[in-house]
Amino acid sequence: KIPDYIGNLSNLTDLRLHGNNFDGPIPASFSNLVNMTNLRIGDLTGEVSSLAFVANMTLLKTLVLRNSRISDNLASADFSKFVNLNYLDLSFNSITGKVSPTLLNLNTLNLL
């Protein structure tokens, strides 16, 4: 299981949790990681997560949630706040909805 206490490390800027076979869900406490610029979580098993935990991570440059058991609508995340985002990988999840124009209009986005 992903340790919940990681969400208390509010000065953390880079976190990589992929290829570890952690059980989900992604802890809600991750919403406290407001200084995060590089977040990579992948290959989770177990319970599903939503995209809600990234809402306050507006400094993100890289967001990789590949195969992280995310089950949500893409519209639930307001990507207009992620003005530094240049790499977004949400592949191999259960995400529904259309890609919003605000996401496509991010000037820094290089990979979607």
pLDDT digits (tens, 9 = 90+) for 56-108: 999 999 999 999 999 999 999 999 999 999 999 999 999 999 998 989 999 99
Residue 20: band (very low, low, confident or very high) from pLDDT cuts 50, 70, 90: confident
Q: Which residues contact 14 (CB under 8 A, 6 or more apart)?
A: 36, 37, 38, 39
Give per-residue pLDDT as tens, 35-65.
999 999 999 999 999 999 999 999 999 999 9
Residue 19: band (very low, low, confident or very high) from pLDDT cuts 50, 70, 90: confident
Nearest of 63, 18, 67 to residue 36 by alpha carbon: 63
Rounded to 5 degrees, what are φ and ψ at 87? -140, 115
* CATH number attached to the domain at 5-111: 3.80.10.10
Look up the pTM and report it.
Answer: 0.95
